[in-house]
Amino acid sequence: MTKPMTKTQLVAALAEATGSDKASANSALEALTSIITREVAAGGAVTLPGLGKFMCRDRPERMVRNPATGEQFKKEADRVVKVTIAKALKDVINT
């Protein structure tokens, strides 16, 4: 397995793919991240065609166990981000 692409590498690749400079690519990436974060935090969902869908999901209160001690305790309800991968990306990976 190879190392994941860093933000710097992603910005450089985005700048090269779009024919713009790295500053513009970085601004675009940060704007996209901000928009997705704001929408998901508000309880909405964002679909990136060909990549997947980001959404917020409510988890109910539940009993959990500490694996080190075996102690069970109640965990409060919380919210988590769920990412569903698009079929197009799955198909590319599995060919």
Same domain, 26 and 51: no
Is the same domain home to 38 and 56? no
Residue 27 is predicted with a pLDDT of 96
- pTM for the full model? 0.79
Tokens of 82: 């769920």
CA nearest 82: which of 42, 52, 61, 62? Answer: 52
Residues 37, 49, single domain; the answer is no
The domain tally of the chain equals 2
Count Cβ neighbours within 10 Å for each residue of 17-38 and write b for 16 or more, e otherwise.
eeeeeeeebbeeeeeeeeebee
**Is-contact 26 12, C-beta < 8 A?**
no
At 76-91, the pLDDT tens digits run: 999 999 999 999 999 9
Same-domain check for residues 38 and 65:
no
Q: Pick from 42, 41, 33: which is nearest to 10 by CA?
A: 33
Specify the amino acid at residue 84. T
Q: Report the 3 state secondary structure along 65-87.
A: ECCCCCCEEEECCEEEEEEEECH
pLDDT tens digits, 12-67: 999 999 999 999 999 999 999 999 999 999 999 999 999 999 999 999 999 999 99
